[in-house]
């Protein structure tokens, strides 16, 4: 009997965690990056819960996008300086020889610099590669990508890995990226889970709205 009630209790807890994860996830995708920073600052436990949920989700995928970015960086000189926006548990920094600046809202690892990715403590044109691996979450995408543009050197690389179903109109998105000062270098749509995009910085963003810069929120289904 007690075995059965323990199992029931575990199942209930699992359900509750799932529900809280989906709720937090929805908040991250439907608010600005500043709202996200406020949310997690007020409730660090929510952040850890979010990460457990995130881990459970990506474990179902045949391949983690961060591993693709690791392979990409290993093919390029280790002298390149990298900024990892929304680094999570710092898998990227732990897997390459490059100097990687790790930014996230709460430190899952001592390597993390805690900040909102819309405003990172790096000087202008100081990095060679900027990475957003499943991390373009806030609604202020233009501001966030503008920050990546600011810290990147001219000709520097921007890597975006995002959930495939978030893209409404890929060509409109890539066109908007041109306006933000990024030329498309390569696009990999081969995984049905995520898209992997590589850009080069052509210059500062052109002022004005970039209407094509839209990503759907990534809302996970209840399982």
Q: Give the phi and the psi of residue 35 in degrees, each rounded to 5.
A: -60, -40
Q: Is 37 in the site for ligand SAH (CB under 6 A)?
A: yes
Give the nearest distance from C-beta 10 to ligand SAH in angstroms.
26
Burial 115-154 (b: 16+ CB within 10 A, else e): bbbbebebeeeebbbbbbbbbbbbbbbbbbbbbbbbbbee
* Residue pair 106/114 in contact by the 8 Å Cβ criterion: yes
Q: Which of 29, 103, 173, 182 binds ligand SAH (CB under 6 A)?
A: 103
Structure tokens at 181: 């000062």
137 binds ligand SAH (CB under 6 A): yes
Count of residues interacting with ligand SAH (CB under 6 A): 20
Of 82, 100, 102, 116, the residue at the interface with ligand SAH (CB under 6 A) is: 116
Which residue's CB is nearer to ligand SAH, number 43 or number 183? 43
State how far the Cα of 134 lies from the Cα of 121, in Å rounded to an integer. 21
Please, which residues bridge with residue 13 across strands?
Answer: none
Write out the E strands in 5-97: 82-85
Judged by CB under 6 A, the residue of 24, 25, 33, 130 near ligand SAH is 33
Closest CA to 118 of 101, 138, 89, 133: 138
Residue 112 is a binding residue for ligand SAH (CB under 6 A): no
Binding segment for ligand SAH (CB under 6 A), chosen from 127-135, 168-176, 184-192, 208-216, is 127-135
Binding flag, residue 25, ligand SAH (CB under 6 A):
no
Q: Measuring CA to CA, which residue among 112, 153, 113 is closest to residue 129? A: 153
* Residue 156 interacting with ligand SAH (CB under 6 A): no
Q: Is 134 in the site for ligand SAH (CB under 6 A)?
A: yes
- Structure token digits, residue 195: 């898209």
Any residues with CB less than 8 A from the CB of 22 and at least 6 apart, and which?
Answer: 53, 219, 220, 222
151 binds ligand SAH (CB under 6 A): no
**Near ligand SAH by CB under 6 A, which window of 9-17, 19-27, 80-88, 178-186?**
80-88
Q: Is the CB of residue 164 less than 8 Å from the CB of residue 188?
A: no
> What would the x/- binding string for ligand SAH be over residues 183 to 202, using CB under 6 A?
--------------------
53 touching ligand SAH, by CB under 6 A: no
Identify the residue among 26, 91, 191, 202 touching ligand SAH (CB under 6 A): 91
What residues make contact with ligand SAH under the rule CB under 6 A?
28, 33, 36-37, 54, 66, 86-88, 91, 103-105, 116-117, 133-135, 137-138
């Amino acid at each position: 009997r007690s075995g059965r009630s323990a199992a029931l209790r575990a199942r209930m807890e699992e359900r509750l965690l799932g529900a809280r994860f989906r709720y937090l996830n929805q908040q991250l995708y439907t608010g600005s990056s500043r709202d996200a920073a406020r949310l997690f600052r007020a409730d660090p436990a929510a952040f850890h819960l979010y990460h457990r949920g995130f881990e459970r989700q990506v474990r179902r995928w045949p391949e983690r996008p961060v591993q693709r970015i690791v392979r990409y960086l290993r093919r390029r000189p280790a002298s390149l300086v990298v900024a990892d926006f929304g680094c999570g548990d710092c898998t990227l920094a732990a897997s390459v020889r490059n100097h990687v600046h790790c930014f996230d809202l709460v430190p899952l690892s001592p390597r993390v610099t805690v900040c909102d990715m819309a405003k990172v403590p790096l000087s202008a044109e100081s990095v060679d590669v900027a990475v957003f691996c499943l991390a373009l979450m806030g609604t202020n995408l233009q501001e966030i990508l503008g920050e990546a543009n600011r810290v990147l050197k001219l000709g520097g690389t921007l890597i975006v890995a995002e959930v495939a179903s978030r893209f409404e109109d890929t060509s409109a998105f890539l066109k908007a990226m041109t306006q933000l000062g990024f030329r498309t270098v390569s696009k990999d749509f081969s995984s049905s889970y995520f898209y992997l995009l590589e850009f080069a910085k052509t210059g500062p963003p052109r002022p004005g709205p970039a209407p094509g810069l839209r990503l759907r929120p990534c809302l996970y289904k209840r399982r």
